[in-house]
Chains A and B, each alone.
Chain A
Amino acid sequence: MVCLVGPASIRAPKEDTVRALVIVPAYNEARSLPTLLPAIREAMPAADICVVDDGSDDETAAIAAAHGAVVLRNAVNLGIGGAVQAGYLWARDHGYEVAVQVDGDGQHDPRSVPLLLAPIAEGGADLVIGSRFLTAGGFRSTALRRAGIRYLSWFIAMRCGARVSDPTSGLRAAGRRAIELFARAYPSDYPEPESIPIAIRAGLRVTEQATEMAPRRHGRSSIGASQTLYYLMKVSLALILLPQHPNRRDAR
């Protein structure tokens, strides 16, 4: 399905800018969005913003629309994987060259988004993961979670050879090939680590970029402390049992 309609597609390309879409998955983030969306706009003035309202009960959709974002309203809550994939489908169908994921809870600093785009613009990468562990400072999460992230990083290196220091990071930029891959096949539940080997195996070039993150300001993480172990086991199993034919998954 290609729906090249609306102002997005008839806009003349600007010099020095690629057509970029910022995908913001949001579930009940009405309190974060009023600060997050203007910050994204400031950091990426030429980019379009697409907020995926994943079945929120609050004013998430209305606030996003009021801030000038395209709003994808999931009628039922699909979880982060289904929400992010909706954004990639939008990016694919509207011919965006790059898509950047920024979590709706405000833990990602939009000012680091242009940094993520650089490797893609230079043609050196298809997927760039924002990592909070490549620089000193910033929010680094709890010790337990850091240990879990180190383990996942090691596991992914074992599984597909990718060196990614922060595989759970939801701050990432995707070039055209990654957009097309993720629109077809994006994992559900806890998709961030799993999506990396899926990209590698599809022949994409994955790199990482140092960014700073902040603790979330409002609401609760989708993963509680007691669920960290479940998270690690589920993700490990997912990494072992990668889909055989990622292109066929979620086939239309």
Chain B
Amino acid sequence: MTSAEAISPQLRIFGAAVLLVFVGWVVRLVRTERLTLRDSLLWLLSTLVALVTIAFPELLFETAHLLGVQVPSNALFVLTILYLLLNLFSVTVGVSFVSARTRRLTQECALLRAEIELLRGDRSSAAHPSEA
């Protein structure tokens, strides 16, 4: 096993700083209502996990050991990729959800517009020529 020195203090400080800036950015977006709290939760949660890992690298080495990964940095890469995939997938789910709603709203607009045209009598005689 590689010792805890595998991650240099400079790197840890740099990583922590980047993550903290990111958290600050997300919080700012939420507070200025450009990002909903609900959508930010997964990012905040997974970033928190990353911060804990940086604060206590032993956890990373434990995880690497448990996974049977020889080089702890590889375990870091695996976890990073999982972190990204998780967040990416949640976006995909969100897009599906939104597109189902868009579809329904588009239909509703079309129905209402046709309803208005009928009410206005724009084509009331033409729409039902069986009566004309």
Contact = CB atoms under 8 A, between A and B. Distances in A.
Asked if A pairs with B, the answer is: yes
Nearest to B129: A68
A200 interface: no
A132 B84 CA distance: 49
Nearest to A88: B107
B118 A5 contact: yes
A7 interface: yes
Interface in B97-132: 100, 102-104, 106-107, 109-111, 113-115, 117-119, 122-124, 126-131
A188 B106 CA distance: 14
A75 B111 contact: no
A66 B123 CA distance: 9
Interface string A55-94: 0000000000111111111111010001001100110010
Contact of B126 (A46, A65, A78): A65
Contacts of B122: 65
Interface residues of A, number: 33
A3 B114 CA distance: 12
A48 B106 contact: no
A68 B124 contact: no
A245 to B, nearest CB: 14
B104 to A, nearest CB: 6
B103 A65 contact: no
Interface of A: 3, 5-8, 11, 41, 45-46, 48, 52, 65-76, 78, 82, 85-86, 89-90, 93, 188, 250, 252
Interface of B: 100, 102-104, 106-107, 109-111, 113-115, 117-119, 122-124, 126-131
* Minimum-distance CB pairs A-B, first 7: A6-B118, A68-B126, A72-B110, A86-B107, A82-B103, A7-B128, A74-B110
